[in-house]
Structure 1
Amino acid sequence: MITVHDRLGRMVRQAQAHGRIPAVSAALHRADRPLWTCTVGGTGNDTALGPESVFRIGSVTKTFTAVLAMQCRDEGLLDLDDPIGRHLDLPAHGELTVRRLLSHTAGLQREPHGDVWDSLRAPDVGELLADLARVERVLPSGRRYHYSNLGMALLGEAVARLRGGTWAEVLAERVLAPLGLTATGTTPGDRAATGFLVDAYSDEARPEPPADFGAVAPAAQLWSTAPDMARWAAFLADPAALDPAGAVLAPATLDEMRWPLTTTDETLWAGGFGLGLILVPQPERVMHVGHDGAMPGFLAAVYGRRGGDGTAGAMGCAVLGSSGTGVEVFELPHRLLATAAEHDPADVEPWRPGAPAPEHLRGLLGRWWGEGFEYVFAWHDGALRARGADDPAGKPPAVFAPVPDRPDVFRTVAGREVGELLRLTRDERGAVVRMHWATYRFTRHQETFEGYDFRAGS
């Protein structure tokens, strides 16, 4: 009998062999199963390859910097629409907003001034900021997606100054320690794999030189293990499961970060970008959220899974590789997550009867018509909900919450028309005879906008 672990392990081994990657470390985290890990190959040095082996994760670092920025927003230290120059003394480009920098829509050039990828010498903070007068705005702000390590470096320095420490100190105190990411840090330590460039036309693997990214550290400096990164991916997808008290970030803030602000390809909408997070849609209304990373000798892909049948709580996957050309790393987490959900789906929780709807709401449950379309209002899991009568099964419903001190008024807190009000109108007997949702009239029978009841006129 082929187990799901057999399937997952074979996929890792195939990726390592086909991609000619000296070392691959993969991990799958989920709330309902023990951690799964798989390593293939060798470190290229005197240390043994295992789940504890450390790899450079490159731009996955950006997701940590984004979380630090959102912490500052939630605590009132900055606003997403603040110009970055409000928090850093800059000689140029200070008008670019935090939101634009987080979503890579600011139009700032990709790298700091100078040929940093030739010299592998990154500027220090003083140089980075002073040289802003010499870098370009390559696109108008807000025009389109344009990836920028420089933009993320500026955000990291802003966070550091707001907190009164270095970016690395703030990260360790406010994210790594609370989430138990003990193997993640800015230096490789003594368990690190060697990074390689694998020759295209032979089997030679040449070691890449180590590089410290200096002031650009908030964009790409971190090292970590696959188990740590699978846990981080699970946090990005399901923060309430790993951080129930919201010590690192409130679940609602992660929801905000996961909302797509731009697409990364105008002709193929297969990926988007939120606030510091890559969004990769999957079939059946599933979303993978996380980031890829690349540094000399290393590739990384770290993604959590949300939605869909079979998806477990806190489900995250990381694949780390020690080759700068082993692009199989980038696709593998998505395949591992999908395979785990299909062949080892989350257990189905049995339905159990619950409390009835409140007396004053029972009369509104059932079918209503708005804009010529039929909707079903119901009471489930302690909340009033609504969905289109013809909505596919996987489409989330609208969810309503009472507005304090306003009887018969509700706020839409999730789904269709989120943020809008639902107002109930009752007759002299107290029965709900009409509703207005986002100001549109809802009635028990289909009506024109003039109020003609088709059933009454038939």
Structure 2
Amino acid sequence: MTSSSEELLPGTQRALLHRIAVAQREGRAPSFAAAVQRDGHLVWTGARASVDGHAPDADTQYRIGSITKPFTAVLVMRLQDEGLIDLEDALEKHLPGTGAGEVTIVQLLGHSAGLSAEAPAPWWERTPGSTRPELSDVLGGGTGVHPQGRRHHYSNPGYTLLGSLVEEVRGVPWEEALSQEILEPLGLSRTSTQPQAPHAGGWAVHPWADVMLPEPTEDLGLMAPAGQLWSTAADLCRFAAFLATGDDLVLGAESVREMRTPSVPPEAGEWNSTYGLGLQIIRSEGRTLVGHTGSLPGFLAGLWVSVDDGVTAVALANATSGPPTAMVAADLVHIVADAEPRIPEPWRPLPEADQELLALTGLWYWGTSAYGLRLVSDGGLELDPLRGGGRRSRFRAGVKETWTGLDGYYAGETLRVVRRDDGSVSHLDLGSFVFTREPYQPGDAVPGGVDPAGWRGFRS
């Protein structure tokens, strides 16, 4: 067990170790490795193994299966940020002749392109990639199993197409783009397409007996962008931290935020789980966690980050089934965030007060609903209902007395100041909604006008 200068409390460390110890024993995993990172620091690692004295550490490689997909998604998002593609482009525009029709890049990223879940038989995870040398061998006749863009349907072949898109646009193999554009800039020296010692071996554990069988380790060929990678608990924590904050060397904060935004509605009955762009999104114990799970014969992996708490957790096991790595990784996040909640940054005032902006703050009315408008330390605004339900939102400063909504109903909408001819403020316009200083005041710019008789009582 290791920790940095940001060391966790002994009770928290013991709770983390207990959780993975239970998972390794009850899941009957030959080995189990885990790590937690908080606010950019690796604060805990732990491991359990069935062979005394041979426990893995945070630098032992495991195969991570579909956690490869976020890496591929980052490569695609980089193409968008460089202006080489648009996510709304049809795949055919950049990668013609696939037979996948007019599915769009964003649909492939979010698994809403309607493609089949798997490649044609034999099972691609347990056979060499040479079995499927062409994209047509990966797609087979399984295209169009659902209408495109209408529902989430997880598709491994879809990520094969995205890997081929990266190769076509970049002019280099997917593996080379991955190394140059993600692994090297982020310092992920223990993440690779082929196993590098020390690494765990993959095992199948008999369902009814405590005996094991080695699983084959195949090079997935064209399917590699969907599940090829090997990595470590430490490397994956660093990668997950990047998914929370961005890194201008790889992908900026706005683009990783786009990846973390739901791209399709969840399935009925699965309101606590959805998918962004290359990232799974779940709601667990009151927290939003983003990340991904992974499995290949002989290996299970889970990676989650709570952006609000600044806590990342990774769980890895070398068993085909049994240990619930995804659940364990989520539990590790909750253990740390609950026992040692994030210390908020100190409140700080604005460096200077803009008097005209300050004059906009305070009470405003949308019809008869009262709202408070606050100026916050980053120069943005917050609009909150003061009584009962209502639509609250935060706004980022724009140009010429405009602000852009960041969340809630008004996300992406423009808040602007409307002034009279004499320069005084008439009202605020928020996506056509008028906010005035008084409710239905005669002479105000109230849509539909105000009854000239004004407010009145009622006699029965």
Supply the distance in 1 between the matched residues of 2:172 and 2:367 (Cα, whole angstroms).
Answer: 55
Match of 2:360 in 1: 364
Q: 1:81 to 1:29 in 2, by over 3 A?
A: same
Unpaired stretches in structure 2, ≥5 consecutive residues: 1-8, 441-445
Give the TM-score, by structure 1 length.
0.89
Supply the distance in 2 between the matched residues of 1:397 and 1:234 (Cα, whole angstroms).
Answer: 26
Task: Please report how far the alpha carbon of residue 371 of structure 1 lies from its aligned counterpart in structure 2 after TM superposition.
Answer: 4.7
In structure 1, which of residues 4, 9, 18 is the aligned counterpart of residue 12 of structure 2? 4
Supply the distance in 1 between the matched residues of 2:71 and 2:253 (Cα, whole angstroms).
Answer: 15
User: Quick check: 1:207 aligned with 2:211?
Assistant: no
Supply the distance in 1 between the matched residues of 2:171 and 2:90 (Cα, whole angstroms).
Answer: 20
Match of 1:400 in 2: 396
Supply the distance in 2 between the matched residues of 1:188 and 1:30 (Cα, whole angstroms).
Answer: 27
User: Quick check: 1:332 aligned with 2:328?
Assistant: yes
User: Quick check: 1:153 aligned with 2:146?
Assistant: no
In structure 2, which of residues 116, 119, 139 is the aligned counterpart of residue 109 of structure 1? 116
Supply the distance in 2 between the matched residues of 1:211 and 1:23 (Cα, whole angstroms).
Answer: 21
**Aligned residue type for 2:364:** W
Match of 2:375 in 1: 379
In structure 2, which of residues 194, 198, 206 is the aligned counterpart of residue 191 of structure 1? 198
User: Quick check: 1:50 aligned with 2:62?
Assistant: no
How many percent of aligned residue pairs carry the same amino acid?
34
Q: Which stretch shifts more, 110-119 or 337-346?
A: 110-119
**Aligned residue type for 1:267:** G
**Aligned residue type for 1:379:** L
Task: Please report how far the alpha carbon of residue 32 of structure 1 lies from its aligned counterpart in structure 2 after TM superposition.
Answer: 6.2
Q: Which stretch shifts more, 438-447 or 259-268?
A: 259-268
SS across alignment from 2:315: strand
SS across alignment from 1:105: coil
Matches for 1:79-228 after TM superposition, within 5 Å: 79-117=86-124, 120-123=127-130, 126-129=133-136, 132=139, 134-228=141-235
**Aligned residue type for 1:8:** L
Q: 1:397 to 1:413 in 2, by over 3 A?
A: closer
**Aligned residue type for 1:450:** G
Match of 1:437 in 2: 430
In structure 1, which of residues 15, 19, 27 is the aligned counterpart of residue 27 of structure 2? 19
Aligned length: 442
Q: 1:259 to 1:455 in 2, by over 3 A?
A: farther
- Conserved? CA contact 1:397–1:416, under 8 Å: yes
Task: Please report how far the alpha carbon of residue 42 of structure 1 lies from its aligned counterpart in structure 2 after TM superposition.
Answer: 4.7
SS across alignment from 1:191: coil
In structure 2, which of residues 340, 347, 356 is the aligned counterpart of residue 344 of structure 1? 340
Q: 1:437 to 1:215 in 2, by over 3 A?
A: same
- Conserved? CA contact 1:90–1:130, under 8 Å: no
**Aligned residue type for 2:206:** D
Q: Please report the RMSD computed on the Cα atoms of aligned residues, expressed in angstroms.
A: 2.7
Task: Please report how far the alpha carbon of residue 353 of structure 1 lies from its aligned counterpart in structure 2 after TM superposition.
Answer: 3.2
Match of 2:283 in 1: 281
- Conserved? CA contact 2:415–2:431, under 8 Å: yes
Q: 1:450 to 1:110 in 2, by over 3 A?
A: same
Task: Please report how far the alpha carbon of residue 259 of structure 1 lies from its aligned counterpart in structure 2 after TM superposition.
Answer: 0.9
Task: Please report how far the alpha carbon of residue 147 of structure 1 lies from its aligned counterpart in structure 2 after TM superposition.
Answer: 0.8
SS across alignment from 1:21: coil
Match of 1:35 in 2: 43
Q: 1:190 to 1:432 in 2, by over 3 A?
A: same
SS across alignment from 1:340: helix
Q: Which stretch shifts more, 96-105 or 24-33?
A: 24-33
- Conserved? CA contact 1:230–1:317, under 8 Å: yes
Supply the distance in 2 between the matched residues of 1:32 and 1:300 (Cα, whole angstroms).
Answer: 21
Supply the distance in 1 between the matched residues of 2:372 and 2:392 (Cα, whole angstroms).
Answer: 13
In structure 1, which of residues 378, 381, 389 is the aligned counterpart of residue 385 of structure 2? 389
Supply the distance in 2 between the matched residues of 1:328 and 1:261 (Cα, whole angstroms).
Answer: 26
Supply the distance in 2 between the matched residues of 1:431 and 1:253 (Cα, whole angstroms).
Answer: 38
- Conserved? CA contact 1:62–1:152, under 8 Å: yes
SS across alignment from 1:134: coil
Task: Please report how far the alpha carbon of residue 193 of structure 1 lies from its aligned counterpart in structure 2 after TM superposition.
Answer: 0.7
- Conserved? CA contact 1:421–1:437, under 8 Å: yes
Deviations 1:305-364 (A, max 9, x none): 122xxx13xx31111111111242110111111110111222233323333541112221
Q: Which stretch shifts more, 56-65 or 343-352?
A: 343-352
- Conserved? CA contact 1:43–1:193, under 8 Å: no
Task: Please report how far the alpha carbon of residue 101 of structure 1 lies from its aligned counterpart in structure 2 after TM superposition.
Answer: 0.8
**Aligned residue type for 2:347:** W
Unpaired stretches in structure 1, ≥5 consecutive residues: none
- Conserved? CA contact 1:446–1:455, under 8 Å: no
Q: Which stretch shifts more, 90-99 or 411-420?
A: 411-420
Supply the distance in 2 between the matched residues of 1:391 and 1:15 (Cα, whole angstroms).
Answer: 47
Supply the distance in 1 between the matched residues of 2:345 and 2:404 (Cα, whole angstroms).
Answer: 29
SS across alignment from 1:262: coil
Deviations 1:157-197 (A, max 9, x none): 11012111110010000000000111000011121111111
User: Quick check: 1:257 aligned with 2:256?
Assistant: no
Q: 1:78 to 1:98 in 2, by over 3 A?
A: same
Supply the distance in 2 between the matched residues of 1:334 and 1:70 (Cα, whole angstroms).
Answer: 26
Task: Please report how far the alpha carbon of residue 2 of structure 1 lies from its aligned counterpart in structure 2 after TM superposition.
Answer: 5.3
